[in-house]
Homo-oligomer: A and B are copies of this chain.
């Protein structure tokens, strides 16, 4: 396997696909069912066919490229990621995972012929939620987790109804009587890290143990707006004074938990937000993530206590609302061990890590053995035209995928088959 050729193939495929959705700001904007999206999926279909795969769309526009197994036609190893981008995103988020699967499958076919089990590449229709206020449409359809009723009153920012956009792109809802696939033995996803850990730790590859659970809160504080000159400090009910104490303590407390807990206060809105008025109202957000649900629960209690005590101390009313609570999702141990073993065998200096961001893999993992591989993101940048991963790292990712797929699809016995037996 020549890494340089692999790298060339990857960069060629990524640049080809990146024709579709280039925006005026130097980035990629390819939103579910829009013109660029349709062109990208059709081009991907062509690339899959050129790679020797049999292609098909499902009802909602997930695209599959299949390498038929010779021995176990009822067992499929599925590899893929999403074809859509955020607005003004980069060239690697999502589409690299599809390209990687395609190049790995083609390589295996060229060198080893048909596999024993089916290998399927999936170009998932949507994950980002950038066009409609709804994410994971592709994977949720694959798993039968979503239907017509969920998008009934869903519109994009131009007022286009979800179903109308889907119909215009040539797709439709999944027939209600269509049985769910029972043949998927394992799901593999390879994705850019979207963080700076691999780069900082100088590791070319990450193998994910857990996708973190997330809790998001909004905190509303109500004090009293007053004249900044004529209201002595002791008579104030200053929302900024209380909030800054709360936020500073919440972030310090989060930091003292140590990795992998993260906590972010990304949004602060002060009212009236005027230089010479003691602020009477303030709302801020809290986003906290951890791979262990118990830790999230413990930290939530601490947040509640800090908010309550500080509001009381400053004579403020507060409202703490937890509006998002998703559980951590562990990746499959057996599948992950196969990847690790291949890395060790091939001298790949990998890092076992958590994913702080959400991925298609996190939905798949609740239904089939799933693994998630990361390649480094330069400076941790993602969802930006500046998103970048070194070609050598991309190639190493595909190389690892090839080795893993060979184990899973070309050998009679695999760890993964045993683990789900």
Given known pairs A240-B266, A248-B248, A267-B274, the reply for A232 and B289 (CB within 8 Å) is no
Does A196 sit at the interface, judged by CB under 8 A?
A: yes
Does A254 sit at the interface, judged by CB under 8 A?
A: yes
Does A231 sit at the interface, judged by CB under 8 A?
A: yes
CA distance A232 to B285 in the complex (A): 18
Does A193 sit at the interface, judged by CB under 8 A?
A: yes
Closest to A377 in B: B230
Q: Are B233 and A255 in contact (CB under 8 A)?
A: yes
Q: Are A240 and B255 in contact (CB under 8 A)?
A: no
Which of B248, B278, B279, B356 is in CB contact (< 8 Å) with A229? B356
Given known pairs A234-B259, A244-B251, A245-B248, the reply for A229 and B273 (CB within 8 Å) is no
Given known pairs A244-B247, A248-B248, A255-B233, the reply for A380 and B266 (CB within 8 Å) is no
Given known pairs A235-B196, A248-B245, A251-B244, the reply for A230 and B357 (CB within 8 Å) is yes
Task: Convert A186-201 into 0s and 1s, putting 1 for each residue whose CB lies closer than 8 angstroms to a CB of B.
Answer: 0000000111110010
Which of B241, B265, B356 is in CB contact (< 8 Å) with A230? B356
CA distance A156 to B265 in the complex (A): 38
Chain A contributes a number of interface residues (CB within 8 A of B) equal to 61
> In the complex, which residues of chain B have a beta carbon less than 8 angstroms from the beta carbon of A265?
240-241, 244, 279
Q: How far is the CB of A372 from chain B (nearest CB, A)?
A: 13
Closest to A216 in B: B275
> In the complex, which residues of chain B have a beta carbon less than 8 angstroms from the beta carbon of A262?
228-229, 231-233
Number of copies of chain A assembled together: 2
Does A214 sit at the interface, judged by CB under 8 A?
A: yes
Q: Are A227 and B356 in contact (CB under 8 A)?
A: yes
Does A268 sit at the interface, judged by CB under 8 A?
A: yes
Closest to A289 in B: B229
> In the complex, which residues of chain B have a beta carbon less than 8 angstroms from the beta carbon of A268?
240, 268, 270, 273
Does A209 sit at the interface, judged by CB under 8 A?
A: no
Does A398 sit at the interface, judged by CB under 8 A?
A: no
A residues neighboring B (CB under 8 Å)? 193-197, 200, 212, 214, 216, 226-235, 238, 240-241, 243-245, 247-248, 251, 254-255, 259-270, 272-279, 285, 287, 289, 355-358, 377, 380, 382-383
13 contacts between A and B (CB under 8 A): A196-B226, A197-B230, A227-B382, A231-B262, A232-B262, A233-B261, A234-B259, A240-B247, A240-B251, A240-B266, A264-B279, A267-B270, A267-B274
